[in-house]
Amino acid sequence: MASKVRRSALWLILAVGALVIVVAALAVWLWPDKGGASNPRAIARSYVQTLNDRDSDGLKKLYYPSDRSQAKNEINALLSKYGGKKIRVTRMDVVQEFGPDMAQVKIIGTSNAGPYTEALDTAKRDGAWYLITNPT
């Protein structure tokens, strides 16, 4: 009798575990991490953090999903130039001259290599802000 109870409990645990895995897989599939950020400053903060961390996957997520393959060379160049330099932001200015869905973020700070200044072009697409790839 005790053996049947243990076996039933084991099957129940396995069934619940399988259900949790299925629900988690569905959640990932239905709500993928599209990347981007909530505003231009947030995308710039994430950008600096991914450079400091030399995080190419994180940097790729800052581009709009359909632009990510095009941004591959740009990402490699950015990581080569700024990756791991411990950028510390002292000032960040957001300029929106071309409407509410486009902004340039001017970042000023320091790094291990000296003064750091960069301007990021960003755009709002599908409700989130993304980096714009530079034309090649």
Q: Considering only 21-30, 40-49, 92-101, 107-116, which range has the smallest mean pLDDT?
A: 21-30
* 33 band by pLDDT with thresholds 50, 70 and 90: low
In this prediction, residues 34-50 reach a mean pLDDT of 95
Cα-Cα-Cα-Cα dihedral sign, residues 125, 45, 38, 79: positive
Q: Spell 87-100 as b/e; 16+ CB within 10 A means b.
A: beeeebeeeeeeee
Q: Is 35 left (phi over 0), alpha (psi -120 to 50) or beta?
A: left
Angle in degrees, CA 120, 92, 37, rounded to 5: 60
Flag whether pLDDT at 136 surpasses 60.
no
Which DSSP category does 31 fall into? S
Other C-beta atoms closer than 10 Å to the C-beta of 80 total 9
Give the number of other Cβ atoms within 10 Å of residue 65's Cβ.
16
Q: Which CATH architecture has domain 40-131?
A: Roll (3.10)
User: What predicted TM-score, i.e. pTM, was given to this entire model?
Assistant: 0.74
Q: CA–CA separation, 117 vs 97, rounded Å?
A: 20
Predicted confidence band at 105 (pLDDT cuts at 50, 70, 90)? very high
Alpha-carbon distance values, 103 to 7, 41, 110 (Å) = 61, 10, 23
